[in-house]
Every structure is written in structure tokens, then in C-alpha cells.
């Protein structure tokens, strides 16, 4: 009769007799066997994400990256080609460009802002299209209806990282995506506590992913699943406030003389504003801008902030700033950064649940110092 789900901190589960155990191993029942395969806390989290995303099935992983990796490794094989977009999260870029080729899986990138080039990049051996929208960190918006039609026409799996929007703001499966991956670490947790990930989508594809993960072991811990599942109960109200705060701050900053441009999906100045309005319920909790003055201006801005956190995360109750060119992407050459759309003065703000004017004033004062 617990009102809050209890924690099932157990590695394995017991059976009353040999027959029950045989039937569970033969997949004749859905009894839990071992927490690398399934666990009540993990199952609860997966079931909730399936409902939110409108998906048939899912599997939760130890991190967002293990979700991305498993979705590639379970469904692609030597000789297959993956089509993706140059604007993807840094570690995803590393998997695609450095690790997949080791297993004979080829890849190519298209530009998020040039949809007319996408169809020409599809090859006879292409198996999957993988994308993020909005993209990290540049917040480009990709038209899900358009890409989904392309995937259907060429019989490709459409795999969408919905981490930035969350299912509250955007449901890629309604537009025809076959799979949706998440980093639970971001808005789903929303309070910067645990690392986790999840993949949901078509039952047949999830079954292949489950069989891959069951043997290779990127399982989500029951404790982290419990935290994430609880967090989903407040996801909608949190996301509404994050988006309201982000819209207010972005609108106040958009014409600031020290910025070359500012992008927020629901500001009419965003290059893909019409697409954002079509497929998103609101603009989400992130905006980004380009500081005049490049890398040094970015470093100075970070040093001048008093309230925003300088930390390698996003999607927290507390507002967070990041400057990719001097941190996450500092090891790349200028040309490599350009290829993945990281400009020298690019700053990304993840807007928290503080009073928006406090966040705005901190940013304004840091720009003026």
C-alpha cells in the first residue's frame, strides 16, 4: 500500500519452483529474472516514457549515450550506412565517426539547414536516419514530417534523439519516427542528480535492442530508474515553466548589441520558426547566442556570471551556461568546429526554474562587465 513506489534494489529474482523458472527463461511469462534484463523500478520508468512518447515498447539504459550506442549496434551491421546530421551531440559524433567505422558501418552527414540535400545522400546500403531536433548546441530545427516521409519512401529506420524537447513538447513518433532515444540525465530527471537513458519505439526494433542490451549489459540501475520515474510526475509543469522563462529571457536579450544573433525555437527570428511551431508545443528550456568577440568574449562572459552555473549539463532547476568552443569542443581545430556548427562565440543557456528576471539580470550584467 505504499503511496510512493518502493525501491527494488535487487540483482535477481526468486522462483517458487523449477517449472516457473524454466517458463520465465523460455519467455513464456514476463516474470523478472535478473536486473540486467528487467526490474520493477526500471519497468515503471520505461512504461511511463512509452505512454508519454506514444511508443509500443522500450528499454532503459545506464546513460543517454548507451541508449544511442545500443540503438546503432543492435540494428546496424557491417556494410550498412547511417545517415545523420552534422549537428549532433559531441559524444554521438564520436560514436558515428570514430567507432562505427571500426565495425564496418559507414556514415555520412547532411546539414540540418539544407533539407534539399538529404535525399541525395541516401545510398542503397543506408539503413537508418539518426537526428536530433532541436540540435545540441545550435538549436537548429529539423522538419520531422519531411524526414519521416523520406525514411518511409526509402524504407529506413528513423531514430530521433528527443532529449532537448522532451515528449511534453514534441512527440516524434506522431510524425512517423520508428525510435526515440533520450538522455534521462537532462530534463527527465530535471534536477541534475542521476545519469540514465531510454530507447522507445516500434516493438520489433525494441526487441532487437533488448536482446542486444540483455547480453551486453548497459542496464539502468533500479535506484536511478526510481528517481527518473518520480521526476516524470512533475515533467509537464516543469517544462511549461522552463519554456516560459526561456521565452521571456530570450525575447529580452535578442537585440542586445553584444550579440550577433540569438536563437530560440519559438522566437519568430529563428530560421526554422515555422517548423518549430508546427511540431513543438512550446520552445523548450534552451536558447543560444553568438557573442561578438569570439572565444575570448565567451570566456570573459562565463567569468562575469555570478548566478548561472558553469557545469557540463543541461535541463536542471538551476540555470546553466556553456561555451562549447572553449570547453567541450576545445580540442577540435577551427575547421572541425565549423563542420559541426560550433562558432567561436556560441553560448548555450539552459534556463532553470529561478525567477526569470534574476537569470536575465545575471546575463545582462555579465555582458556589460
Closer residue to ligand PLP, CB minimum distance, 183 or 229: 183
Does 301 engage in binding with ligand PLP (CB under 6 A)? no
Q: Which stretch binds ligand PLP (CB under 6 A): 157-165, 227-235, 255-263, 271-279?
A: 157-165
Q: Which of 58, 64, 201, 285 binds ligand PLP (CB under 6 A)?
A: 64
Q: Which of 195, 295, 320, 367 binds ligand PLP (CB under 6 A)?
A: 195
Q: Which of 50, 52, 65, 286 binds ligand PLP (CB under 6 A)?
A: 65
Residues 6+ apart with CB under 8 A from 222: 7, 8, 9, 10, 35, 39, 40, 41, 42
Is-contact 209 71, C-beta < 8 A? yes
Does 136 engage in binding with ligand PLP (CB under 6 A)? yes
Does 87 engage in binding with ligand PLP (CB under 6 A)? no
Is-contact 141 116, C-beta < 8 A? no
Q: How far apart are CA 227 and CA 239, in angstroms?
A: 17
Q: How far apart are CA 59 and CA 37, in angstroms?
A: 9
Does 161 engage in binding with ligand PLP (CB under 6 A)? yes
Closer residue to ligand PLP, CB minimum distance, 35 or 183: 183
In terms of C-beta density within 10 A (0-12 exposed, 13-18 middle, 19 or more buried), how is residue 218 classed?
A: buried
Does 132 engage in binding with ligand PLP (CB under 6 A)? yes
Neighbours of 116 (CB within 10 A): 8
Does 163 engage in binding with ligand PLP (CB under 6 A)? yes
Q: Which of 32, 35, 39, 63 binds ligand PLP (CB under 6 A)?
A: 63
HSE (side-chain half, CA atoms, 13 Å) at 204: 2
Q: How far apart are CA 38 and CA 31, in angstroms?
A: 9
CB of 21 vs ligand PLP, minimal distance in Å: 34
Rule CB under 6 A: which residues touch ligand PLP? 63-65, 68, 89, 132, 136, 161, 163-164, 183, 185, 195, 197
Amino acid at each position: 500500500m505504499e503511496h510512493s513506489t518502493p525501491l527494488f534494489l535487487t540483482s535477481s529474482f526468486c522462483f517458487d519452483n523449477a517449472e516457473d523458472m524454466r517458463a520465465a527463461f523460455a519467455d513464456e511469462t514476463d516474470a523478472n529474472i535478473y536486473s540486467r534484463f528487467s526490474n520493477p523500478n526500471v519497468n515503471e520508468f520505461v512504461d511511463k516514457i512509452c505512454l508519454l512518447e506514444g511508443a509500443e515498447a522500450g528499454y532503459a539504459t545506464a546513460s543517454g549515450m548507451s541508449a544511442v550506442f545500443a540503438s546503432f549496434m543492435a540494428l546496424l551491421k557491417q556494410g550498412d550506412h547511417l545517415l545523420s546530421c552534422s549537428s549532433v551531440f559531441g559524444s554521438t559524433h564520436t560514436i558515428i565517426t570514430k567507432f562505427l567505422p571500426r565495425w564496418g558501418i559507414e556514415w555520412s552527414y547532411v546539414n540540418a539547414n539544407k533539407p534539399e540535400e538529404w535525399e541525395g545522400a541516401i545510398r542503397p546500403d543506408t539503413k537508418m536516419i539518426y537526428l536530433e531536433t532541436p540540435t545540441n548546441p545550435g538549436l537548429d530545427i529539423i522538419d520531422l514530417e519531411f524526414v519521416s516521409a523520406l525514411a518511409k519512401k526509402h524504407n529506413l529506420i528513423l531514430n530521433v534523439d528527443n532529449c532537448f524537447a522532451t515528449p511534453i513538447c514534441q512527440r516524434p513518433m506522431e510524425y512517423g519516427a520508428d525510435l526515440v532515444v533520450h538522455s534521462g540525465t537532462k530534463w527527465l530527471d530535471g534536477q541534475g542528480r542521476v545519469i540514465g537513458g531510454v530507447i522507445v519505439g516500434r516493438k520489433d526494433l525494441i526487441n532487437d535492442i533488448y536482446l542486444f542490451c540483455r547480453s551486453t549489459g548497459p542496464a539502468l540501475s533500479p535506484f536511478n530508474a526510481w528517481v527518473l520515474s518520480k521526476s516524470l510526475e512533475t515533467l509537464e509543469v516543469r517544462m511549461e515553466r522552463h519554456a516560459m522563462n526561456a521565452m521571456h529571457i530570450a525575447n529580452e536579450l535578442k537585440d542586445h548589441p553584444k550579440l550577433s544573433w540569438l536563437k530560440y525555437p519559438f522566437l519568430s527570428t529563428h530560421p526554422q520558426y515555422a517548423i518549430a511551431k508546427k511540431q513543438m508545443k512550446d520552445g523548450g528550456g534552451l536558447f543560444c547566442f553568438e557573442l561578438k568577440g569570439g572565444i575570448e568574449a565567451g570566456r570573459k562572459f562565463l567569468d562575469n556570471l555570478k548566478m548561472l552555473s558553469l557545469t557540463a549539463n543541461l535541463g536542471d532547476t538551476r540555470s546553466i551556461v556553456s561555451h562549447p568552443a572553449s570547453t567541450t569542443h576545445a580540442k577540435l581545430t577551427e575547421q572541425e568546429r565549423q563542420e559541426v556548427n560550433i562558432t567561436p562565440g556560441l553560448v548555450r543557456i539552459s534556463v532553470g526554474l529561478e525567477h526569470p528576471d534574476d537569470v536575465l539580470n545575471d546575463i545582462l550584467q555579465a555582458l556589460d562587465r
